[in-house]
Structure 1
């Protein structure tokens, strides 16, 4: 299967794109389908656009507001349904939907017995953490960095692990201060195209599910026109098989010019290892 030249296909052409961290957000259909079909979950629509979900146990609340600072999805868990959340995960509107869907599906499946299946004596326990998944996919750590950074082989996706003590309420109130941040883009450190934040108590098996989706080598379905303009020289694109069709109505609703307005740069952070940066430059020059 040979890669396509995006200049030769119409924006409405259904294609397969790799890697996922540069493919663009795609549609929100998968995550909505998971939650709409989850037994006992309730859904509320506000302002005709914003969707809010609550789990049967009232411990998990999920919001998908169209207009907010981050957009995308905010997922909270509180052991006491009326108390302060124990953890919060935020996926901004540019996050590839495969990552959001993997996290959400694992959450829905593991919630009925309060994640016990994923404890060390549980039937679904694997012992794998997200860092193990990344290492297995040849991600490289940037030694000596604070905070700690891991980079994908192409240098265009990164995991930041915050260092130092921080009051848990601070990271609950400010996603950028979360313990972990996944991001992707030409410069995933300083000017990422998308970001996902996980506070310190976010269960390991949920973060691992997100990491598995992020590192999958399988190309993902997109419309050619939805691939971010600045990523087009960095992705491999193939004609989609008929079974990989994308719901056009959902895609139309999900299309937003987010790739043109990346998140504001954060505080100074290290650049990827020189070998990874050189690799990225060589691909863009081809």
Structure 2
């Protein structure tokens, strides 16, 4: 997350745990910042949607609060800037902003390393590009493999409120980019048909980007939100912990000594006249 004194920082008056029940902050800046910091070009349309383009046009991001569906964030990458996308990812309008930022931060780092990084296709059995690497953070944090379904690998959180699914076999590439029928789907809730939020990633999305999201989703650290912006489904499922202003540190003996040493001598109040632009001159009595 950005530092507290950064205007892009995410603030709140409660911490929400687990973080995957926090939903969106409603602010796009934190997730746009990693790419804007690289000098990517930002444009807006008349409706208030934002479009971010890499200098070489090989990666495009749309932040679409006024889009045609609930896909708030759409990120596509291209080997040929005039050809179809090589891969695409989507985060809907309720996805916690921290998860999108994790994705864009890692994308920015990969973009700086060059096309071989941000266009790297998953390769089964590879040390760093095996699809299993995207699932490893979840297994390491106690997530459980869900009951098997034909052609789908699924793993869910211990409370059963968020799951990651990986579909095997052939998929329609265009449908992967425009629907939830994608290679990867991450969703929260009690029903996949009516999730609290969801994110998808198509075939060939680099494992490094997927792992950044699963690392962030499974992080046990709570995230801040404004209490009035939490949703009814959170009640009874998430912990809301008040964020209190930090107490000033207790003074050390050295602090006490320094304060006493620097304290000026106390003078009678009448010995220090206090003047202002509105003060009247002191009244002088008659001379003896």
Q: TM-score, normalised by structure 2?
A: 0.72
Alignment of 1:238-277 (within 5 A): 238-242=241-245
Task: Give the paired residue count.
Answer: 226
Alignment of 1:221-232 (within 5 A): 221-232=224-235
Equivalent position SS for 2:160:
coil
Q: How far did residue 131 of structure 1 move?
A: 0.8
Higher helix share: 1
Q: CA 1:182/1:188 → structure 2, altered by over 3 Å: closer, same or farther?
A: farther
CA–CA separation in structure 1 for the residues paired with 2:18 and 2:174: 35
Q: Which has the higher contact order (CA 8 A, sep 6+)?
A: 1
CA–CA separation in structure 2 for the residues paired with 1:192 and 1:163: 22
Alignment of 1:21-60 (within 5 A): 21-26=20-25, 27-37=27-37, 39-47=38-46, 49-60=48-59
Q: How far did residue 116 of structure 1 move?
A: 4.5
Q: Does 1:139 align with 2:139?
A: no
Q: How far did residue 117 of structure 1 move?
A: 6.0
Gaps of 5+ in 1: 1-11, 244-286
| 1:77–1:86 Cα contact (<8 Å) kept | yes
| 1:158–1:184 Cα contact (<8 Å) kept | yes
Q: CA 1:15/1:76 → structure 2, altered by over 3 Å: closer, same or farther?
A: same
Equivalent position SS for 1:177:
coil
Q: How far did residue 148 of structure 1 move?
A: 2.3
Deviations 1:40-90 (A, max 9, x none): 300001115110000122100000111221241000000101110001100
Q: TM-score, normalised by structure 1?
A: 0.73
Structure 1 runs, 4 residues or longer, greater than 3 Å off: 115-120, 125-128
Deviations 1:1-24 (A, max 9, x none): xxxxxxxxxxx9611111111112
CA–CA separation in structure 2 for the residues paired with 1:205 and 1:51: 25
Q: CA 1:117/1:44 → structure 2, altered by over 3 Å: closer, same or farther?
A: closer
Deviations 1:218-249 (A, max 9, x none): 01010011111111211111122548xxxxxx
Alignment of 1:120-159 (within 5 A): 129-146=133-150, 147-159=152-164
User: Which residue is 2:180 aligned to?
Assistant: 176
| 1:24–1:226 Cα contact (<8 Å) kept | no
Specify the structure having the higher radius of gyration (Cα).
Answer: 2
Equivalent position SS for 2:180:
helix
Equivalent position SS for 1:83:
coil
Q: Does 1:162 align with 2:167?
A: yes
Q: Does 1:87 align with 2:87?
A: yes
Alignment of 1:195-214 (within 5 A): 195-214=198-217
| 1:182–1:195 Cα contact (<8 Å) kept | yes
